[in-house]
């Protein structure tokens, strides 16, 4: 049994105008002690996935179908409150995650009170310990400072300390380093890895940045327009990307782009899914699209090269499409990964 098992999760938003299928039937799992990446552009449904896991979907949003099993218990059957502290979240914006009118220590102590029943000196001592653990220098003094007195990197460390105050088994990190400069970003990623080793934490790491995914993930799910379109262990994905969208994201990694002189972005924008898919949602942006792509919804097929569990939802790799284009004529890697 995995720490987290998400099965066919569908989270939709019923507005007056339309229904938005923000998360449309995704499945993935996370083991204790591993980092699973969820990568895609803004608007792919990554953050709605994160909020779904924590039971934070508000009206007009609703989890329409699927299950979210944590330690074997389906949270969607009304069990979120029982596991509230076991799954903690670190958001992108540390400034917005901390309340500016309370000291950092107050905010950690409040979490300790709610989730671990700690008060008074014990709570203060634990808050200082947590700040020291995440690398805040002079923690006994800084515990009484306000968020604006912390630098951006220190604020994100404080947010991580607050998340750890719940003593979680699973950390959901939603673009936790996007607002930070490169040096601080590397420090925060190292900190997360260290905490994971110490605590056997499962981590869901959400980002738009393939370069960051390469640094942190053990396995990767690539998300596009509410769906997971490719999943694989990290090395397999980077050595043998198959889905045209994944290939496009790879080209946006600065080091690869400059080395190979490739275009840095996938042209076009992620569509907002307003109906169940009857086609490939990536077709309008796909350099390999052929006629069937606008009529048929691709299911995941096995595309493993060197590892198990590598699948892609793309008709190029499905049986029965003999007239699909030859990838060697479409992709600028000469189709070596086709
Ligand atoms: S199914 Fe067709 S449009 Fe979709 S990614 Fe594959 S080739 Fe491109």
pLDDT at 131 over 70: yes
pLDDT, position 263? 44
Q: What number is the average pLDDT over the span 184-202?
A: 91
Residues 6+ apart with CB under 8 A from 296: 278, 279, 280, 315
- What was the pLDDT predicted at 38? 98
Give pLDDT tens digits for 37-49.
Answer: 999 999 999 999 9
- Max mean pLDDT range (189-193, 252-256, 296-300): 296-300
Ligand 1 contact, 330 CB (< 6 A): no
Q: Is 282 in the pocket of ligand 1 (CB under 6 A)?
A: yes
User: In whole angstroms, how far apart are CA 264 and each of 32, 113, 249?
Assistant: 35, 47, 8
Q: Best of 249, 293, 331 to mutate for ligand 1, by most ligand atoms within 8 A of CB?
A: 293
Please give the pLDDT value at position 109.
96
R_g of the chain, CA atoms, integer Å: 21
Q: Is 26 in the pocket of ligand 1 (CB under 6 A)?
A: no
* pTM assigned to the model: 0.91
pLDDT in tens, 246-258: 999 988 776 655 5
DSSP class of residue 134? T
Percent of the chain with pLDDT over 90: 76
314 Cβ inside 6 Å of ligand 1: yes
State in Å: Cα 316 to ligand 1 middle.
7
- Reference 210, options 200, 202, 221, 199; nearest CA is 221
Q: Which of 298, 318, 323 for mutating ligand 1's site (highest number of atoms within 8 Å of CB)?
A: 298
Question: Which of 83-97, 135-149, 196-210 is the least confident region?
Answer: 83-97
């Amino acid at each position: 049994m995995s720490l987290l098992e998400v099965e066919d999760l569908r989270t939709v938003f019923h507005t007056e105008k339309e229904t938005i299928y923000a998360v449309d039937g995704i499945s993935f799992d996370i083991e204790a002690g591993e980092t699973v990446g969820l990568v895609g552009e803004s608007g792919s449904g990554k953050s709605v996935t994160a909020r779904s896991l924590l039971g934070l979907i508000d009206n007009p949003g609703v989890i329409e179908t699927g299950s979210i099993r944590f330690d074997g218990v389906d949270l969607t059957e009304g069990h979120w409150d029982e596991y509230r502290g076991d799954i903690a979240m670190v958001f992108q914006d540390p400034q917005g995650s901390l309340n500016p009118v309370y000291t950092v220590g107050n905010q950690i102590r409040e979490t300790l009170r709610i989730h671990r029943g700690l008060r008074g000196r014990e709570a203060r001592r634990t808050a200082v310990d947590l700040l020291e653990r995440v690398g805040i220098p002079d923690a006994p003094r800084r515990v009484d400072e306000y968020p604006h007195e912390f630098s951006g990197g220190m604020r994100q460390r404080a947010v991580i300390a607050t998340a750890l105050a719940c003593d979680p088994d699973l950390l959901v990190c939603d673009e936790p380093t996007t607002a930070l400069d490169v040096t601080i970003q590397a420090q925060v990623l190292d900190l997360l890895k260290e905490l994971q080793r110490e605590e056997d934490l499962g981590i869901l790491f959400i980002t738009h940045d393939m370069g960051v995914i390469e640094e942190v993930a053990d396995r990767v799910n690539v998300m596009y327009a509410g769906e997971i379109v490719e999943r694989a262990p990290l090395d397999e994905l980077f050595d043998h990307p198959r889905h045209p969208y994944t290939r496009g994201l790879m080209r946006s990694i600065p080091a690869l782009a400059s080395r190979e002189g490739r275009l840095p972005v996938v042209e076009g924008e992620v569509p907002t899914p307003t109906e169940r898919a009857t086609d490939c949602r990536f077709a309008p942006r796909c350099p390999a699209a052929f006629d069937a792509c606008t009529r048929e919804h691709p299911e995941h097929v096995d595309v493993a090269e060197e590892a198990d569990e590598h699948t892609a939802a793309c008709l190029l790799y499905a049986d029965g499409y003999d007239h699909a284009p030859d990838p060697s004529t479409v992709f600028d890697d000469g189709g070596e990964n086709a």
